[in-house]
Amino acid sequence: MHRPAVHRRDPRLEIITEAVERLIPRATPAHLTVTVTETLPGTANPDGTPHKHTWTGKPEGLAVKVFTALFGRPRTEEQRSPLAQAEDAKRARDLVGELDALLAGGVALETAPWYPCRPGDLVHVHHRAVGDVPLTPAFGETYIVGDAGDGLMSMQLLAHTLPDTVEHAADMVGCFAAEAADCPVYEVWFEAGAHLLTVVRDGRPVHVGGAR
């Protein structure tokens, strides 16, 4: 799915976009457009139909307009996970900023339209390349959420794309697996960040992070 290259550091913009996309249940976001129509009373076109003014755009375009009206222009800095933002604030001795980053991350997760996760959900994590060579190439991991009993859920590694030739490759994958947790995606959401996650439910993506 293609979307404009907007760095969505603020999860509120992502939430607004997904809310607009879900006005038509189970629709494919890449195929959606939004049309707002003003019908002018007492006017008519040559064919007798009422004269109208319209605005048409993609869901993310409408989301940006709503976000800007509420909060100002979206930030365009590089996207960072809630934990990375909190660590930046901690290094700057900004206790309020540290708490805000963690609280915002929790709110973004718990207000996501697909939350909470369900058994059978697939969680895909993108890991960025590390180093200039790079020492570790970019790779992905796929986890599956399962029922751990007693109202808890597990998340087990299904597959990864990190080459076995990478040093210590076996120690670098599966770190987000969970045997039993209230919310098995909590750790990966905070450490990797929503922008590096894709969640698939019933064969359909319900959350797609990063550039779309």
Domain ranges for the chain: 11-71, 79-111, 117-208
User: Between helices 82-91 and 95-110, what is the axis angle to 10°?
Assistant: 170
Tokens of 77: 């800095």
- The residue whose two tokens read 């359909």 is 204
The C-alpha atoms of residue 172 and residue 169 are separated, in whole angstroms, by 5
Global confidence as pTM: 0.58
Q: Per-residue pLDDT tens for 69-101?
A: 887 777 655 677 777 777 777 777 878 777 877
211 vs 67, which has greater pLDDT?
67
Query: What pLDDT does residue 5 have?
Result: 35
Q: pLDDT for 170-199, tens place per residue?
A: 777 888 998 988 889 988 888 888 888 899
The predicted structure's pLDDT at residue 210? 62
34 versus 11: which is more confidently predicted? 34
78 alpha-carbon distance from chain centroid: 14
